[in-house]
Structure 1
């Protein structure tokens, strides 16, 4: 067999083996790894690369070595899930760098963190003054998680006493010009609704690269042709405008009529509708 063909076949086989080993080790191996996982990834990658390029080496021996480096980390991971002490040894422990607004200098030295390192990590979190931080902890993966002081935290509806309407994640109902039936069903919608909404936009399904619908029945689309402007969803603003018009009409009727009873009825219902508008306006403006 020619050497180039041998290397080609070895490389393809090694790539397939490495792909499955990485998937079996779990998603953590693909994201932020601890020290043990980092070492494992490097060694398995090196073994597979060696098997692919060393024509004098045995493929079987290389697979045995890769298997060992797969089985041991897999076993360690299983034990770590059930034993906190063992997990601390293999994965490490989190280290508090700022507590109650004060920098823990001893912990900085323990982690070999300089002041510049700490400030850089804080800037990554959009924090530029240590005085604004209530708590900061360095995770075993190297990520610094920061809790700002209460007065420096973003304003949320809960803080100002508002209760926002529950919202589900948008569903992709059109993808690559094709209707996705399951996401439509998840939103209790159908193809007739979808065609109606697209007709309002004067858009055909074939021209839609991606279409998403939310739990309020609003459809947003991205077209293959970026030069075509697509109107934004208008259901909520139209509903709010209709309610305000009804409330204004009731006030006009109350002013126009000379019947005392009718005037009172119009005024009462106008006030009720105004109160309802005040309650739902935050939801219809979002």
Structure 2
């Protein structure tokens, strides 16, 4: 029993590290070869977990091999356009200048119902509203609506708002994050003043305090029954 537990922990950690080294892509954003490698790694790891007669190295060595192949392919794709086309393919324009390309739909095994569903999920309900629809190599659909239907931006309305920054967490669960305070160009005295302004007597009473993207101080206190 302890042998199985030990092997499972080792293989789990090894697979997590391997997937972490592959990058921060979600499953739906993986290229076909990346998804194939991810599936193979999970299968290889499961065999030594289920059968103690299989050496743990018989799972680890193939995983290292696949990870090395994935790294090599990623480097080759960075350096060569041809390699990118071979392993990742190229995007397909399913709607071009407002017209459906039936040949591209057929080649990509993507029927009109699938296309309409993807469009609805992105907030578009009429084919006549779309200028371009591009099926990316990851399987995601990029949609470019007709110009007159594009959302108006602040620049279009000639509004010049100040540039927003990143929100910074200053207090989390009653503890001050001093590193984030320095990042936000604030100090503990400023934080104490903001707490006093918001009638907060102790840092321990704060669930979360954030300096938001507009530079405003926001905080939420802990519930009394916590």
Greater share of helix residues, 1 or 2? 1
Aligned partner of 2:52 in structure 1 is: 55
1:172 paired to 2:146: no
The alignment yields a C-alpha RMSD, in angstroms, of 1.8
- CA distance in 2 between partners of 1:182 and 1:118 (Å): 47
Aligned partner of 1:68 in structure 2 is: 65
Deviation string for 1:73-123 (max 9, x for gaps)? 221111111111111111121111112111111111111111100000001
The answer as to whether partners of 2:4 and 2:49 remain within 8 angstroms in 1 is yes
Normalised by the length of structure 2, the TM-score is 0.92
1:91 paired to 2:88: yes
Question: Relative contact order (alpha carbons < 8 A, sep ≥ 6): 1 or 2 greater?
Answer: 2
The answer as to whether partners of 1:167 and 1:215 remain within 8 angstroms in 2 is yes
1:36 paired to 2:33: yes
| Higher alpha-carbon Rg | 1
- CA distance in 2 between partners of 1:79 and 1:226 (Å): 57
Normalised by the length of structure 1, the TM-score is 0.74
The answer as to whether partners of 2:27 and 2:35 remain within 8 angstroms in 1 is no
The answer as to whether partners of 2:28 and 2:139 remain within 8 angstroms in 1 is no
**Structure 2 gap ranges (5+):** none
Residue of structure 2 aligned with 1:81, choices 53, 73, 78 = 78
- CA distance in 2 between partners of 1:79 and 1:115 (Å): 35
Residue of structure 2 aligned with 1:198, choices 188, 195, 203 = 195
Aligned partner of 2:184 in structure 1 is: 187
- CA distance in 2 between partners of 1:165 and 1:115 (Å): 43
- CA distance in 1 between partners of 2:176 and 2:41 (Å): 42
**Structure 1 gap ranges (5+):** 228-286
Runs of 4+ with >6 A deviation: none
Aligned length: 224
